[in-house]
Amino acid sequence: MTIERIDVQGWKSRDEIEIAEKLTGFDVVEHRKDKETGEILETIHFVPFANVKFLIGIVDNLEIGYKVGYRYIINKIIQLKNLDVTTDSFNGGRNRAKYYFPLYYYPLKVLEKKNKVKYFGRGGLMRLR
């Protein structure tokens, strides 16, 4: 039996997300490598203050230093925003762009940059102050 080896080139470095505060919100700047050209492209996502304040409202109800899982935060967002999605569908398909990134991921990155929370990569977070 012969096994064919296929090497896939990946971007091994970690991208540091940049955040710039604007008059009405934040620009979250990330970099992605184009698979075909290898060129690193910059993408800017605007996050309104309202989305960051909404997530702060959830985080401020947590004890300082207590770690909570992704599902806890997502369930709070769904409940408080009265969204017509399940916990499992919140970050999938078209809901990923509609809910996950604008209501959770990018506001979380802003709070992390401001040292309000520690983000644990798989969705969990801990309130720092």
| Tens-place pLDDT, residues 10-27 | 545 456 788 999 999 999
- Asked if the structure places residue 61 within a domain, the reply is yes
What's the pLDDT score for residue 107? 95
- Asked if the structure places residue 57 within a domain, the reply is yes
**Mean pLDDT across the chain, nearest whole number?**
86
- Asked if the structure places residue 5 within a domain, the reply is no
pTM of the model: 0.80
Containing domain of residue 94, as a range? 49-127
- Asked if the structure places residue 89 within a domain, the reply is yes
Tell me: pLDDT of 93 over 90: no
- Asked if the structure places residue 9 within a domain, the reply is no
User: Total domain count for the chain?
Assistant: 1
DSSP notation for 57-82: HHHTTSPTT-EE-HHHHHHHHHHHHT
- Asked if the structure places residue 107 within a domain, the reply is yes
Sheet of 117-119: strand order equals: 67-68, 125-127, 117-119
- Asked if the structure places residue 85 within a domain, the reply is yes
What's the pLDDT score for residue 67? 92
- Asked if the structure places residue 62 within a domain, the reply is yes
Most confident of 33-37, 117-121, 124-128: 124-128
